Structure 1
Amino acid sequence: MKPVTRLLASAAIAAGLALPAAAQDPFTVGFVYVGSTGDMGWNFTHDQARQAMDAHFGEAVDTVFVENVAEGPDAERVLRQMILGGADMIFTTSFGFGEATNAVAGQFPDVYFEHATGYMREHPNVSTYSGRFYEGRAVIGHIAGHMTESNIIGYIASYPIPEVIMGINSAYLHARAVNPDVEMRVVWTYTWMDPAVETDAAQALIDAGADVIMQHTDSTAPQVVAQEAGIISFGQANDMFQFAPRPRVASIIDNWTPYYIRRVGEAMEGTWEQSDTWEGIPEGMVLIGEMTEAIPAEVRASAQAMIDAIAAGEYHPFTGPINRQDGTAWLAEGEIADDGTLAGMNFYVEGITGEIPN
């Protein structure tokens, strides 16, 4: 019954139709993805968590999803159709869905909304959640700083939003801490996922001398380019090991399952409350994948020590002294960045060249 219900729900949403009453009996949870669930990155990890949550609750919960939804007016249409199809709760899993989420939430106050990586909570039925990805970027930056031979690290960035800028800064600071000669070169793609664009970006960085590639985009294309060039890459959102087993040395893994189980359970129990959740390595929302033997043993040990210190609350990746790009002081010796500043970060730290685009 349950798999059939999900198929019917997905078909109904795709056709813009309401579901029959029989399909509305379970607590129905919808997911909206900006890309494909087969991207092996961001959308894949959200969908894996959806499936795990679905299995956890069994027949009590039914889930539906729509992938490849554009950030903008089309998202509102998808959300309304999900609700007309019986959705009791919806997770919108990309930053650009913020306005659509809040617009539709105001029209349907009895539906729970959860917006990933967002900040807008204009209605009491909207919560936001995200991972402290900068913690994972600190770890891979530490590894990259040790392992680069050209002293050039390439970074493929999606959009100039605080989440992405935080990651660039964190990776650079921790690479520079172990290698003062390191340089970070950033290519902006203005897309979350476009294998062709990401391939070109990776190749451009390699042509500029980068022997380490990081990414804040969703496809595995940079992993493939890195493998062909024989340089180091890091898995993004998922391990991606099958796409670059040799130069891939570690990865950042997004683990959404515990959060989805917790929040759906609260909604079903009537204990759900509006919140802004920002969790990382200590809570298990951000994980570091296997550090392969391509990393020297002493570097693996120091990276693990950093992971342990972050998990224990003994180390924060943005701890001063840190200056802004223009040389002005940002954080004094021992000062830790507050969450408000991090959540609105719109500047590079000292040492990164180039400008953040509008």
Structure 2
Amino acid sequence: MGGLILGSAIGSFISRQQTITQTITRTVTVTKTPAQLVKTRKFKAAWIYVGPIGDYGWTYEHDQGRKVVERVLGPKGLNVISETSYRESVPEDRVSKVIEDFISQDYDIIFTTSFGYMDATNEAAKRHPDRIFAHCSGYKRLAPNIATYFAEAYLAYYLNGIMAGAITKTNKIGYVAAHLIPEVIRHINAFTIGVREVNPKAEVYVVRIGAWYNPPKAREAAEALIAQGVDVLAFTEDSPTVLQVAEAYQNKGI
């Protein structure tokens, strides 16, 4: 503001000295602030889940997040989000169709919450530059309207590994893994580093079940590990099955 006042004063002085009359025409463009835009535009947000919302794991927690968004940003909150929706238990080869279904219903923001949705999400982002996509656990961002996100869960796995290494009596620790993809390998590595921080003699045995949510396979893997002498179990899969198996064996005194 001080610069504008000073500039006006200098201009006025020169004009008087040279007795030159000047006419200045300005075009002023009025833009809306973000707050004003929020008041004039509300968004619809959708979530696509790889498992059921009742898995008490990955999908359950994502849906809890959706409910927070609805409560805080929805009509009863800041009123930024007009509507949320979700589709559960969507196979990877069906996610493209589900994305297009949401877009046909005028959803503005779409969260795809599984690693295997990565390519389909990027392709959809390129097809629909006017929509926003957020993909969980992926590493590809092939369009300006796609974001990736993930929690630093490996830190918790490292701490879990320290505890596992400290309490094992057989020096055999089992890990039930859904898939051997970057995020899961990161968890296994962090867990194993934690184990060996306190127990260099301990070994970690990994069984891949090939599914994010398959309780029978998770149970089979956990029991197979126990049969090999494993006395501590960890996992990256979306059901509470491994915990249930461990609890059942503990109650039996095994």
Q: Counterpart in 2 of 1:29?
A: 45
Determine which structure has more spread, i.e. the larger CA radius of gyration: 2
CA distance in 1, matches of 2:247, 2:54: 20
Q: Pick the aligned partner of 2:71 from 55, 73, 98.
A: 55
Deviating 4+ runs (over 2 angstroms): none
SS of 2:65's equivalent in the other structure is: helix
Q: What letter corresponds to residue 37 of structure 1 in structure 2? A: I
Q: Counterpart in 1 of 2:105?
A: 85
Q: Pick the aligned partner of 1:163 from 173, 180, 183.
A: 183
Q: What letter corresponds to residue 51 of structure 1 in structure 2? A: K
Any stretches of 5+ residues in structure 1 without a counterpart? Answer: 1-24, 232-358
Q: What letter corresponds to residue 227 of structure 2 in structure 1? A: D
CA distance in 1, matches of 2:91, 2:58: 15
What's the CA shift string for 1:72-120, capped at 9, x where partnerless?
2x10000000011110100100000011101111111110000000111
Size of the aligned set, in residue pairs, is: 207
What's the CA shift string for 1:307-345, capped at 9, x where partnerless?
xxxxxxxxxxxxxxxxxxxxxxxxxxxxxxxxxxxxxxx
CA distance in 2, matches of 1:68, 1:202: 23
Q: Pick the aligned partner of 2:222 from 199, 202, 208.
A: 202
Q: What letter corresponds to residue 176 of structure 1 in structure 2? A: R
Q: What letter corresponds to residue 66 of structure 1 in structure 2? A: R
What's the CA shift string for 1:176-203, capped at 9, x where partnerless?
1101211100001111110000000000
Q: Pick the aligned partner of 2:85 from 64, 89, 92.
A: 64
Q: What letter corresponds to residue 104 of structure 2 in structure 1? A: L
Q: What letter corresponds to residue 88 of structure 2 in structure 1? A: E
SS of 2:224's equivalent in the other structure is: helix
Q: Pick the aligned partner of 2:207 from 162, 174, 187.
A: 187
Normalising by structure 2, we get a TM-score of: 0.79
CA distance in 2, matches of 1:120, 1:93: 14
CA distance in 1, matches of 2:161, 2:245: 20
Alignment of 1:311-350 (within 5 A): none
Q: What RMSD in Å do the two structures reach over aligned CA positions?
A: 1.4
Alignment of 1:29-178 (within 5 A): 29-59=45-75, 60=79, 61=81, 62-72=83-93, 74-178=94-198
Q: Is 1:214 aligned with 2:234?
A: yes
SS of 2:207's equivalent in the other structure is: strand
SS of 2:180's equivalent in the other structure is: coil
SS of 2:239's equivalent in the other structure is: coil
CA distance in 2, matches of 1:184, 1:108: 44
CA distance in 1, matches of 2:167, 2:64: 32
Structure with more of its chain in helix, by fraction: 2
Paired-residue identity, %: 39
User: Residue 127 of structure 1: CA displacement?
Assistant: 0.7
SS of 1:131's equivalent in the other structure is: coil
